[in-house]
Structure 1
């Protein structure tokens, strides 16, 4: 029993510590839409991936720079030949000896002049030692290479290209955050409206039951109100579930732990949507996609330049320092090592490559033309986006005003119908119709308000001013 109590206390302590730790780790974030965007720029995993692309490009630029810096390499090797290779060569020793004897008139034992044979044969001998070692340094420096110099010039453009890609990623995430944020605000407003409507129908349900008890209403009237009340509660529950799932999606966009909580501090109102009068003038250069195409065109132009420079000769300097040891025994460091050195300059002149460079230049020129076409197509797309989003925003603002008045009118109609019903002058059907029209008017108003907010976000993106 003592051991069981001991384990129970231990498990309880572990559970309490784990619960306390989880509570400490959970955070509550109260933020406006713009604050949510700033949070995502620091924590979104998509943004972090784009920032890694910038770091990768930085290292690529360092790699390009390394081509223009001295290249220093060291090498060392030890070779052992159990059997030194045998080489065969003409017997030049015998030929020389016979030549001297003939020249001096030497005679053989029979008194005849010595005469060289027609064939002296070959000699087989081993050249080299069993143990050989060498160590050395080599240095190479490019003095002139047009392609390397163009690569150095293109480093800034390549880095700007990576940065612009990251900005586009941030912009797309910001647009999605604004839309989800406003959608959640609308959902909260609709839940509040459902709450108000439920309170109305709970009172109506109570009043109808009292009227039924007094014999002035039918059981059918009570049932109809009960059905409507149940539907309202069910729809409200569904909307809460959808809103909770929406918050999960928002946290994923933000790069926020799902255990954390988000509180929306901004209010979506007509005044907020209508604020900041939208200018009709815009500049293509404000769009980050257009800026990206401009940088891409610049990089393609560097490509043309690079291939043209490949026709020029390349010049490089080099130097070598080597030291060797040759032994028949493994005593490489006892005796002298033999050193050698070399310094030189190398010039490579391209003469004919089968028109390869010409083909590369033409391909690069076509890539530049394609960049120009892409920019013109994007201009047309920007014009269309600006015009369509402006039209949607204008119509949405008109719809918001109209739906607001319509919702107010529907509320008045419902209130008047309820009063008539309470006085026994109206029917349950009129109440249900008025309530349905009120719900429809409320839904239409918030739908129009959301459409106006989204149209404004789309317009700000179209003119390149989402940040």
Structure 2
């Protein structure tokens, strides 16, 4: 017996220890964790990095381009020998190096507009990320409040079940004392069985809502995931005292979907300016330096051979004296190539100047680019107007929803008070046998429905107030 008690005590302590280790997540922790782990946000952050590199590329357009080149070639085959002019099968080598630089002096403000567009794209991507964060925060808050609603509903079901058990015990006592007929307990037992089923459904709803939030947070340990249920009463808010038009004007200033649409209009305007720049003349400056060297032997200065002038071939005769005119015998020489650095220095050349290009006709390409850019700009402006209209509709709808939820909650409170009074009165009448168990159960079920409706309207009101405050710039976690 002592061993059994000891084992039971250890099991209880282990169970309490395990449950104590389960982290209770607050709403703020859930929102923060979701924003850190969300894959879509991480993908959009990579888009921001891409936009940063595009900005760096746009900055580079203002700088001159400098390129160096070097070529070394072998020519193998039948070529002319530079020393004697004969054709020979030989291999020659040549090296050439060069340096080229260029800069755009004017290009229809293309570089400036490209830089402006890159900055706007970074801004648009950041606004898009902030908008995604807002949507995720609302999704997390909705899932969080759904768990709270399901837990409160479970408490109501369990509380009503406990009351029913007390009534069963009291009724059994009255039947045993002969104060009530035996059939009076059947309706209570049926109601107790129905409440047990409702508890099972409520417990399952709690588990499913916890899993849903855990999946939203990318947490796989569903069994040990739970939330904190402290301090989640009706928030003290004065947002309903604010006019919907004022909330809308505030939303126009802070909502990211509006900022994204406005930035897209600016990007479309810059793209149109870029298209217009395509028909502008362009002016650029250029400079290049090139030199070369050869590794082939070259012909040297010819040498006259005076050893035997009479052996030189006769070109002709002097008319007056008939003296022969001879061609001196010239011996060609072969000289090794100059050092490569000397050749580079001697053969170097510079080219520099300005280049003006005026577009005249390019197959309608510039005209088409301008027209399509203009259409895109008009679409962006219409999208901005549509975004504002949708936001205004959403704000007014959210205001009306929050106002209706407030009234529904107040009505549910009054209904619960009345149902509680009716239940207490019915219980007194049931205890003295004035009403039967069926009538008493009906009153109890109406009380349960009122309690459930109060829980539903409470969390519906909390969420809709949070949504309305969100449009006014109040964080969802406050």
Same-fold status (TM-score > 0.5): yes
Q: Go from structure 1 to structure 2 and tell me whether the alpha carbon gap of 1:401 and 1:220 turns closer, same or farther (over 3 Å shift).
A: same
Q: Go from structure 1 to structure 2 and tell me whether the alpha carbon gap of 1:85 and 1:277 turns closer, same or farther (over 3 Å shift).
A: farther
State the distance in 2 between where 1:266 and 1:430 align.
Answer: 37
Structure 1 segment 116-155 matched on structure 2, within 5 A: 125=87, 129-145=91-107, 146-155=109-118
State the distance in 2 between where 1:223 and 1:320 align.
Answer: 106
SS at match of 1:84: strand
SS at match of 2:168: helix
TM-score relative to the length of structure 1: 0.76
TM-score relative to the length of structure 2: 0.74
Q: Does 1:441 align with 2:403?
A: no
Q: Go from structure 1 to structure 2 and tell me whether the alpha carbon gap of 1:209 and 1:347 turns closer, same or farther (over 3 Å shift).
A: same
Structure 1, residues 207-233: CA drift from partner, whole Å, max 9, x if none? 233334445555554343233223323
Match of 1:229 in 2: 192
The 8 Å contact of residues 312 and 349 in structure 1, kept in 2 or not, is answered as: yes
Match of 2:167 in 1: 204
Number of aligned residue pairs: give it: 403
Structure 1, residues 312-358: CA drift from partner, whole Å, max 9, x if none? 222333344455454479xxx99526434544243322122233212
Match of 1:403 in 2: 412
State the distance in 2 between where 1:67 and 1:127 align.
Answer: 49
Structure 1, residues 239-265: CA drift from partner, whole Å, max 9, x if none? 222222222322333455646644325
Structure 1 segment 264-413 matched on structure 2, within 5 A: 264-270=228-234, 272=235, 274-280=237-243, 281=246, 282-283=248-249, 284-322=252-290, 324-327=292-295, 336=340, 338-339=343-344, 340-344=348-352, 345-413=354-422
C-alpha displacement of 1:28:
2.2
The 8 Å contact of residues 77 and 90 in structure 2, kept in 1 or not, is answered as: yes
Structure 1, residues 148-185: CA drift from partner, whole Å, max 9, x if none? 22101223222111111011101111111221222222
State the distance in 2 between where 1:341 and 1:300 align.
Answer: 46
SS at match of 1:352: coil
C-alpha displacement of 1:429:
0.4
The 8 Å contact of residues 414 and 435 in structure 1, kept in 2 or not, is answered as: yes
Match of 1:36 in 2: 30
Q: Go from structure 1 to structure 2 and tell me whether the alpha carbon gap of 1:223 and 1:85 turns closer, same or farther (over 3 Å shift).
A: farther
State the distance in 1 between where 2:69 and 2:202 align.
Answer: 72
SS at match of 2:340: coil
Q: Does 1:185 align with 2:148?
A: yes
The worse-fitting range, judged by mean Cα deviation, of 179-188 and 159-168 is 179-188
Q: Go from structure 1 to structure 2 and tell me whether the alpha carbon gap of 1:69 and 1:249 turns closer, same or farther (over 3 Å shift).
A: farther
C-alpha displacement of 1:431:
2.2
C-alpha displacement of 1:393:
1.3
Match of 2:51 in 1: 57
State the distance in 2 between where 1:220 and 1:341 align.
Answer: 119
Q: Does 1:263 align with 2:227?
A: yes
Q: Go from structure 1 to structure 2 and tell me whether the alpha carbon gap of 1:436 and 1:129 turns closer, same or farther (over 3 Å shift).
A: same
SS at match of 2:270: helix
State the distance in 1 between where 2:156 and 2:22 align.
Answer: 29
Match of 2:65 in 1: 71
Q: Does 1:158 align with 2:121?
A: yes
State the distance in 1 between where 2:61 and 2:232 align.
Answer: 56
State the distance in 1 between where 2:220 and 2:64 align.
Answer: 49
Q: Go from structure 1 to structure 2 and tell me whether the alpha carbon gap of 1:355 and 1:415 turns closer, same or farther (over 3 Å shift).
A: same
State the distance in 2 between where 1:343 and 1:407 align.
Answer: 95
Structure 1, residues 424-453: CA drift from partner, whole Å, max 9, x if none? 332110122112111211122122222222
State the distance in 2 between where 1:359 and 1:244 align.
Answer: 59
The 8 Å contact of residues 319 and 341 in structure 1, kept in 2 or not, is answered as: no
Larger radius of gyration: 2
C-alpha displacement of 1:202:
1.5
Structure 1, residues 365-389: CA drift from partner, whole Å, max 9, x if none? 2222222222222222222212222
Q: Go from structure 1 to structure 2 and tell me whether the alpha carbon gap of 1:316 and 1:266 turns closer, same or farther (over 3 Å shift).
A: farther
- CA RMSD in angstroms, aligned pairs only: 3.3
The 8 Å contact of residues 314 and 349 in structure 1, kept in 2 or not, is answered as: yes
Ranges in structure 1 where 5+ consecutive residues have no aligned partner? 1-22, 88-92, 94-122
The worse-fitting range, judged by mean Cα deviation, of 415-424 and 195-204 is 415-424
C-alpha displacement of 1:137:
4.1
SS at match of 1:154: helix
Q: Go from structure 1 to structure 2 and tell me whether the alpha carbon gap of 1:380 and 1:412 turns closer, same or farther (over 3 Å shift).
A: same
